[in-house]
Amino acid sequence: MERSTIIRKLMEDKGMKVSDVSKESGIAYSTVKSILENGIGKASYVNICKICESVGITADKLEDMIKNNKTKEPELSKEDYERIRKYKLISDYSPDGAVVVDTVLDREYAIAEKLREQKEQLEKVQRMDMEVSEEIVPTRLWAYYGKIAAAGTSVEFSDMIAGTKEYPINEMNQNADYVIGVNGDSMEPEYYDGDIVFVEKTTHVSNGDVGIFQKDNNIYIKKAGENGLVSLKAGYPIITSEDGVRVLGKVLGKAE
């Protein structure tokens, strides 16, 4: 953990802003802001001591916190050990399966890194007490599953992500886990062929909710009804629950 990160965490715990640190330390606001943004390592020792004192620690204590943080190994949960055990078994007895796992893992890791960077940038803006104008809207990346959610005739499903899509974060999509493309016209006039929808992962949807469902190797976007999955446009048969349907998520809305 970087020194400036520790200082910002202590500021957050104490409810301090950059202006408070500036006042307590006697260092100019612009200098404090620059130090916290660019790293304390570039600051003079005198300023480091003053900033540390303003948040309630000494420079020596800060170095101890850095040292302890670097030597502390992350703890693995029972679930982590179970994942390792499964992967070891796959790699020993199913080498091809291990290749698939590695491919998916690398892909998801790259997406997670981008999401983490976006989150850190947004937190940085908030920490630095900067005013974000209405024109600056935070965005994030969502895993994109391509145009595979059939609104009409079913299509073959591949669980490989087609890529990522970046959209502004709003109240409607803030809990979405991924986006998926609509294929077909049976959900018109609410969802059209080519639309992209935000989906929250869940294993259950209520009657009246629009969701993403899987039957065999096919993916559907349908409305949950009392007797099965229904289309919004007339002329399409109901997919009954006896057909081995699995819920993949709840549709939150469309990407504009």
User: Does pLDDT of 150 surpass 50?
Assistant: yes
Q: What angle do CA 135, 141, 142 make, to 5 degrees?
A: 130
Encode pLDDT of 179-233 as tens digits. Answer: 999 988 999 999 999 899 999 999 889 999 999 988 877 888 999 988 889 999 9
Q: What is the pTM of this model?
A: 0.48
- The pLDDT tens digits for 120-149 are 777 766 655 544 444 456 788 888 887 776
94-110 b/e (C-beta count within 10 Å ≥ 16 → b): eeeebeeeeeeeeeeee
Alpha-helical segments (H) within the chain: 3-14, 18-25, 29-38, 45-54, 59-71, 78-93, 95-127
Going by C-alpha positions, the residue among 252, 213, 249, 246 that lies closest to residue 230 is 213
What distances in angstroms separate CA 35 from CA 4, 119, 130, one per listed residue? 8, 21, 15
pLDDT of residue 71: 44
CA dist list (Å): 2 to 7, 8, 48: 9, 10, 13
Enumerate residues 6+ apart whose C-beta is below 8 A from 143.
108, 111, 161, 164, 177, 178, 179
CA distance 12 to 197: 36
Q: Closest Cα partner for 254 from 200, 197, 210?
A: 197
The pLDDT assigned to 15 comes to 87
